[in-house]
Amino acid sequence: MGEIERFEFSGAGGQTLVGRIHRPATEPVAWAIFAHCFTCSKESRAARYVSTALAERGIATLRFDFTGLGESEGQFDDAFARDVGDIVAAADALRARHRAPTLLVGHSRGGTAALAAARRLAEVVGVATIGAPFYESGVTGALDTAELGSLGKALLVFHSPQDNVVSIDEAREIFVAARHPKSFVSLDGADHLLGRRRDARYVAEVWASWSSRYLPEEPEAELPEDTPEGEVLVEGRTTGFVQSIHARDLRFAADEPLDKGGTNAAPNPYELLLASLGACTSMTLKMYAGRKEWPLDAVRVRLRHDRIHARDCEDCESDTGMIDVIDKEIELDGELSDEQRQRLMEISARCPVHRTLLNEIKIRSELI
């Protein structure tokens, strides 16, 4: 996942509503809005877990607080029509500042509101409801059976048979009233609040895959050509710390933790450096033991990086300034003799990355 961006906009009643946009590490394949459950907030587990998981699958997702809840201004009341209007206002704000959402996800009453809002949003192609009630009549702004039948959007209904807040019979009413394309997914074992991360991730995984069939086709973004072995390309946006890394035909990311101003979406640069040394050490030991036909079953390498004063380092050549220290703990599994273990410890220092870090290094920079 990429950055998490604070997002403010004017709701249906003119009050300032507050949300968070979860961005993928790369260009989004689609934009979505998550509407939280009744009296909940954008910080509910379902809202955070689903939004995070959707972003990991390339879908930028806005979760926000309805009027009068969480960080949003205004007085909370049981006004369903205003919730619908808040979703429409959120979509208008995304359209103006980023891109129009094509997907809506709603939890509990937020799902029912998302259905009603979808009728007013031409760009929306798909709606997912999670444990949503069916309001046949008597609720201003809700869709009746006929309106659901003419929704004109792809619909995916998620509901748990064990939901003791909203009966699964209400999900059946929604599903039967809607026309195809539609699907029903049973969230067996999940609670109404979708409090388990595994259930939320499952919803996001199924929704991202199912909805991709209905997203408008766009020209594929030009990706950098695969880099040759020994060359790495790193690209970053002007905001945030998330970096997209290209190595050969592989794609991964780097970021900083939350307390350093990042979004904690990926390892930081020093962690990647330690990972390189650890991976190289483990590979080298496995290769050596394999050639010797020694019974080495597994290798675990734990590494830590620190900077200390040279005067505090007993075995360092320098006695002034700061010294970078990498501690490397190696655990070897297998029926190895003491002599074999000692030899493998000696070999661990011969891994190419280890040698590179100890050799003189010259970095040549060029502006192109």
CATH number, domain of 50, equals 3.40.50.1820
285 and 200 inside one domain: no
70 and 160 inside one domain: yes
Give the total number of structural domains in the chain.
Answer: 2
56 and 191 inside one domain: yes
Using a 10 angstrom Cβ sphere, with 0-12 exposed, 13-18 middle and 19 or more buried, the burial of residue 367 is: exposed
Q: Is residue 324 assigned to a domain? A: yes
Q: Which of 191, 211, 231 is the last residue of a domain?
A: 211
How does pLDDT run along the chain (368 residues), one tens digit per residue? 567 889 999 998 899 999 999 998 878 889 999 999 998 999 999 999 999 989 988 899 999 999 999 999 998 887 888 999 999 999 999 999 999 999 999 999 999 999 999 999 999 999 999 999 997 555 655 777 888 888 999 999 999 999 999 999 999 999 999 999 999 999 999 999 988 889 988 999 999 889 888 887 655 545 556 778 889 998 876 566 778 888 888 888 888 887 887 767 789 999 999 999 999 999 999 999 999 999 999 999 999 999 888 777 777 777 778 888 899 999 999 999 999 999 999 999 999 999 999 898 889 999 98
Q: Is residue 31 assigned to a domain? A: yes
Q: Is residue 330 assigned to a domain? A: yes
Domain that holds residue 300: 267-358
Q: Which of 192, 211, 230 is the last residue of a domain?
A: 211
166 and 289 inside one domain: no
Q: Is residue 248 assigned to a domain? A: no
Output the pTM of the full model: 0.64
Q: Is residue 225 assigned to a domain? A: no
Q: Is residue 256 assigned to a domain? A: no
Q: Which of 164, 188, 211 is the last residue of a domain?
A: 211
Q: Is residue 287 assigned to a domain? A: yes
> Angle, to 10 degrees, between the axis of helix 45-56 and the axis of helix 197-211?
50
Q: Is residue 192 assigned to a domain? A: yes
272 and 164 inside one domain: no
Between strands 298-309 and 322-333, the pairing is antiparallel
193 and 327 inside one domain: no
188 and 278 inside one domain: no
190 and 277 inside one domain: no
207 and 301 inside one domain: no
Between strands 154-159 and 182-186, the pairing is parallel
